[in-house]
Copies of this chain bind each other. A is one copy, B any other.
Amino acid sequence: MSKSNNVYKDAYNRGLRLLDETKSLPSEPELGALLGVSRTTIRSILARMEETGLIAWNKRSKTVLRAPRSDDFFPEEETDTLSQIIERSFMRRLLAGGAEPGMQINELELAREIGVGTTSVREFLIRFSRFGLIEKRRNSHWVLKGFTRAFALELTEIREMFELRSAAAFAALPQDSPVWADLDLLEDEHRVLAREIATRFNEFSELDERFHRLIHRASHNRFIVDFYDVIAMIFHYHYQWNKAQERERNEVAVGEHLAYIAALKSRDLGKVDAACRKHLKSARHTLLTSIPDRAALPQQ
């Protein structure tokens, strides 16, 4: 089958949304920059839009003829990257239970089960390995280390170390740094969310990630910034499967974020440290309580 055209389909869908807003589309290079794809892909998109009667296309003129209907869009599942598909499948198995630490991971079996080539699975596993959940045996299989209590503790230990340092660096940033404006915007979003938490509590996870990434960026250290990928991945799946008291948890977290933001704005390192510690402590607690404790298992 070689390569799927999900880049095209995804960009096409996003392109359809542009049609609502204007009478005519901009130049090809501009569209490319807007949708984050090459001109080659833009031209395929335009060609299809012309075919389906959405636009009239002649060289520079790209006039919108009608608004897109829901059946103009490609189905969501066709716009995913192979690597996203594999990740989702893999995490489902991992969290579905029956995935005991020490268990071995079979590339061929995974590939067959998901219906993709072995190369893609191999590449996924290599990329995934930096999360510390799997490990490779030289010229042999991968071993699942498992999403255990030990894993969560090791992860949060580093997270706390990194975030305390980043927060301190953040508070020390000069007044004219653009991050303060970013922080103000995030603060507003937090305020709005706090007010409407009853109905919009599930929007917190995305806000949470943006907030912590902003702070970590102040470290100016690529290893710290990159480590947030591990945390984000874990929290992403954690949020998906642990829905217990989600509203309450998020409400508390929003409050902690606001206190944390106030501390940062005060630029008082003692206050920043305290607010950061408090939030990280409850984040750790939330994560830990959602992990089944299989303490007695052999763990090599």
Q: A-side interface residues toward B, CB under 8 Å?
A: 7, 36, 119, 122-123, 126-127, 130, 132, 138-139, 145, 151, 154-155, 157-158, 161, 165, 220-224, 226-227, 230
Contacts and interface: CB of A to CB of B under 8 A. Distances in A.
Contacts of A154: 220-223
11 contacts: A7-B139, A36-B138, A122-B123, A130-B130, A132-B226, A154-B223, A157-B221, A158-B221, A161-B165, A223-B227, A223-B230
A280 B158 CA distance: 20
Given A123-B126, A126-B127, A158-B224, 7 more contacts: A123-B123, A130-B130, A132-B222, A132-B223, A132-B226, A154-B220, A154-B221
A235 to B, nearest CB: 16
Contacts of A145: 222
A223 B130 CA distance: 9
A226 to B, nearest CB: 7
Nearest to A37: B139
A163 to B, nearest CB: 12
Nearest to A153: B221
Contacts of A139: 7
Q: Which 9 A-B pairs have the closest CB atoms?
A: A154-B221, A132-B222, A158-B223, A126-B126, A130-B130, A154-B222, A126-B127, A157-B221, A7-B139
Contacts of A123: 122-123, 126
Contacts of A226: 130, 132
A168 to B, nearest CB: 12
Contacts of A122: 123
Nearest to A124: B126
Nearest to A158: B223
Q: Which of A130, A132, A223, A227 has the most CB of B within 10 A?
A: A223
A143 to B, nearest CB: 13
A90 B122 CA distance: 21
Contact of A119 (B119, B158, B221): B119
A130 B132 CA distance: 12
A193 B106 CA distance: 45
Nearest to A220: B154
